[in-house]
Amino acid sequence: MNNINIHKLLMKVPLLFGLLFIFQFIFLGYSFADNGISSVNSFVEEKHSATDFRSRKQNSNGQRSDSGFDFIVSLERENISNAGTLTMDFDDDGNTNVSINTSSTPINSYIIFLNDNHSKSDRTNKVGEIVFENEIYGFSDDPNKTIFLSNVSKSGATYPSSNNDGFSARELEGLNLYTDTTSFSTISHDWVSIGSDSKTLRIGVKNGTYGDYIRVFTAVEQEPTVDFNLTSSNGLESTSSANLTVDLSDSYSENVTVNYTVTGTATGSGTDYTLANGTLTITSGNTSANITIAGIVNDALDENNETVIVTLSNPTNATLGSDTVHTYTILDNDNLPVVDFNTTTSSGAESVSSKALTVDLTPVSGRDVTVDYAITGTATGSGTDFTLANGTLTISAGNTTSTITIASIVNDALDEVDETVVVTLSNPTNATLGSDDTHTYTITDDDDEVSSKLVIDNLSTENRPLSSSVPLQKCGIILEGKCLSEE
């Protein structure tokens, strides 16, 4: 196949899909409309503009289909609450002469009538089907119940009276009602069936005089509930956005709006994400819409998981459901920072009273980091040579260093060897331990060395013979003029 033929074929694809769509809905399927009706099949026309409900045997102006359909359905009035108590011939369970109080149970009223001359076989060959959006309470086919009825009938429409020609012919012939089925049909008599969903009505009628009528009462459209599809969800901070789905319990004929406020531990306005307080609109006929957390920032900062909390309030054309709060958690995906000493050794004279040992954190963290430290070495703590006990160091979020301080280093006068204070890090939280986990600080002795001296007392020989037996005294160590030890 050459390129020209392929191009011609592609040009025909939209037409083929269009024809398939028309075939499906005209010959096989259903059309969708509003006015409290979800769909009708190919034998039914929705004609809500109809205003003449007389039998054509009475008057040629009696309503007919514009396009040759077999049945017509026409909405009379919606949300009727002032018509008092009405009696239906049948309810949706098959009970007869059932009363309904419109003040406590508002209703919608519809007229359904046959438009063509039907034979017996048409009771099964040309079955009308109407799916209402709301529950079917029941219907009447008695001619006295399908004429003008105060606060029920369509304003400005023409209805027959009992003395008009063809009045009694408006009633279905030998009507049977079948409940909880959408598949039954028969040629033995006129029939109506109501499905188990209490919304699907099917009708098969034989008629030679045109104009068989029934009046159907349904529930009015109830405001749906609006709430979140889920109450929680999460995603890595590398996920740039998140949709929070808000659902209606059922579609509605008008737009539904609901306000939302944004809180949580994460910071909006582009710091961690972008979403401000606002109002969500679910357009008529739809059952859901999304609130989008956008611009989620994928930073390099190790931090706690953070939340975005969205709360619904103040709906219009709906009531709030139970799931009014959604918590979205932004999961941190950054590695832990490394904590260790800045250097591993240092020293200072004992005359230096304190020494701060720097501990580094790489890189900076969004969380507080702690690390334990233990003290060893040749120097003696607890105030003898220095003051520092085992402990825990905290590096606050946003900082990269902190110090462990060897305090109160004692500057004694004793000549002694250099001594060490060894500090070892362990058990970090919100970080990993680096390689330089030990620091050795050397306290350098700064006292002079003491020399030995020989002291001879009573060395005078005045008036003493050379052979005197008084021994000479020798002193091995002298401190501040005093003999500390004799030789």
Domain boundaries, the chain: 33-219, 225-331, 338-444, 452-487
Give Cβ neighbours of residue 211 (< 8 Å, ≥ 6 apart).
Answer: 54, 55, 56, 57, 62, 113, 114, 166, 169, 170
**CA-based nearest residue to 135, from 31, 220, 72, 225:** 220
CATH tag for 338-444 (out of 2.60.40.10, 3.10.620.30, 1.10.150.20, 2.60.40.2030): 2.60.40.2030
Task: Tell me if 225-331 shares its fold with 338-444.
Answer: yes
pLDDT in tens, the chain (487 residues): 444 444 444 444 444 444 443 333 333 333 434 689 999 999 999 999 999 888 777 777 777 777 778 899 999 999 999 999 999 999 999 999 999 999 999 999 999 998 778 889 999 999 999 999 999 999 999 999 999 999 999 999 999 888 887 788 788 888 999 999 998 899 999 999 999 999 999 999 997 656 789 999 999 988 999 999 999 999 999 999 999 999 999 888 899 999 999 999 999 999 999 999 999 999 998 999 999 999 999 999 999 999 999 999 999 999 999 999 999 999 999 999 999 999 999 999 999 999 999 999 999 999 999 999 999 999 999 999 999 999 999 999 999 999 999 999 999 888 889 999 999 999 999 999 999 999 999 999 987 765 555 444 544 444 445 444 545 455 555 555 555 555 5
Q: In b/e form, how buried is each residue of 272-284, taking b as 16+ CB within 10 angstroms?
A: bbebeeeebebee
Distance CA 114, CA 120 (A): 14
Tokens of 120: 């017996």
Distance CA 100, CA 271 (A): 59
CATH tag for 225-331 (out of 1.10.3720.10, 2.102.10.10, 2.60.40.2030, 3.40.309.10): 2.60.40.2030
Q: 3-class SS at 20?
A: helix
